[in-house]
Amino acid sequence: MAIPKIDPPITNASGPLSVTEEELHALGRSGAGAVVTKSMTHCPRAGNPEPRLAARIDHDVGSINSMGLNNLGYERYAELVPELKRHGKPVIASVSYAPCEHELPLEEQYLVIAKALEEAGADMLEINLSTPNLTGIPIATDPENVRKVMEPLRREIKIPLSVKMPPYNNSLPLFEEVASLLVELEVDAVVTMNSEPNVLDIDLQTRTKRLRPRGGYGGLGGPAVLPIALGEVHRFYRYFRERGCEIPVWGCGGITTLEDAIKHFLAGASVVQVGTALLWEGPSVFERLWTGVERWLAEHGFSSVEEIVGAVQEARGA
């Protein structure tokens, strides 16, 4: 199924300022081209114990979080969808898994949530296969689990399905195995990337770890991850296009300036998402970035973003 038009092609990344009803309506009123919900689970979750977010670590290199999927639970998000749609832009529901008292198996949780959100009128689902802060091991690093989760969704859900992926860094064989599976499963878009997992920061004044859950380890977002995200976007883009496959890649990671967004488009992203910068700046970030992107396009003789998607050139010798 065709994915909804995201206009402008910039949205929030699932998580930051997208948990509560108020936050979601603020995104609806903002310059973002869609509203993406916080990743929802079967049961409401309070998330991990505090401190679980270092919003701005030293030198503004980024944020580190170990939120543990704090969310209202899928039933509440399903109730909110019709109201959110009144803002006149696509509503994308991010769907995740967490162990809960109902003890539903992994794939069933995803399916129950996905069906409810489709029924509620969501325009697209973003299947989060990459949460790093529950066990440290995301579903997307196990191809068998990716198949287990995605096959029933592909069969039973009619609205477009994107998948949110973790960085594969230097695990190239794993990347290729999963990318080929995504082609086989005919996902409608790939969103890359989730936080760079298992990072640590230390407060020097108190000589204390910044975060409490999971031994202090969290997921990194913000400027520090920009080159990592560009590598992930470009790798998926090339993998698909070299095989004649048109799956769109949505870029997420490290965008705080208009130039960062342009780099994502050049690397192959057709839509970009903003997480840490939204946390820092609030929903006005979308207007600032998009105005800048439009100015850059005009100054460089382009009339639309489509003209630069994947248009990065290989470096040449002198």
Ligand X SMILES: Cc1cc2nc3c(=O)[nH]c(=O)nc-3n(C[C@H](O)[C@H](O)[C@H](O)COP(=O)(O)O)c2cc1C
The answer to whether 100 and 42 have CB atoms below 8 angstroms apart is: yes
Under a CB-based contact definition with an 8 Å cutoff, are residues 261 and 10 in contact?
yes
- The answer to whether residue 270 forms part of the interface with ligand X (CB under 6 A) is no
Binding segment (CB under 6 A) for ligand X, from list 14-22, 73-81, 239-247, 299-307: 14-22
Q: How far is the CB of 7 from ligand X (least distance, A)?
A: 20
Among 6, 10, 13, 113, binds ligand X (CB under 6 A): 13
Which of residues 36 and 247 has its CB atom nearest to ligand X in the complex?
Answer: 36
Q: Is residue 197 a contact point for ligand X (CB under 6 A)?
A: no
Choice from 11, 41, 66, 194 touching ligand X (CB under 6 A): 194
The tokens for 102 are: 């109902």
Q: Which of 8, 33, 213, 254 binds ligand X (CB under 6 A)?
A: 254
Please choose, out of 101-109, 149-157, 252-260, 303-311, the segment that lies near ligand X by the rule CB under 6 A: 252-260
CB nearer to ligand X: give 63 or 207: 63
Q: Which of residues 45-104 bind ligand X (CB under 6 A)?
A: 53, 63, 65, 67, 69, 94
Q: Is 129 exposed, middle or buried (CB count within 10 Å of its CB: 0-12, 13-18, 19+)?
A: buried
Burial of 156 (0-12, 13-18, 19+ CB in 10 A): exposed
Closest to ligand X by CB, 14 vs 297, is 14
Among residues 48, 109, 141, 276, the one that binds ligand X under rule CB under 6 A: 276
- Build a one-symbol-per-residue string for 115-134: x at contacts with ligand X by CB under 6 A, - elsewhere: -------------x------
Footprint (CB under 6 A) of ligand X, residues 203-232: 221-222, 225
Q: Could you tell me the smallest distance in angstroms from the CB atom of residue 308 to ligand X?
A: 20
Specify the residue, 28 or 254, whose C-beta has the smaller distance to ligand X: 254
Distance CA 142, CA 148 (A): 10
- Interface stretch with ligand X, choices 144-152, 173-181, 246-254, 293-301 (CB under 6 A): 246-254
CB of 222 to ligand X, least distance (A): 5
Q: Per the structure block, which two tokens stand in for 21?
A: 């009803």
30 binds ligand X (CB under 6 A): no
- Where on the chain is the footprint of ligand X (CB under 6 A)? 13-16, 38-39, 53, 63, 65, 67, 69, 94, 128, 164, 194-195, 221-222, 225, 252-255, 274-277, 279
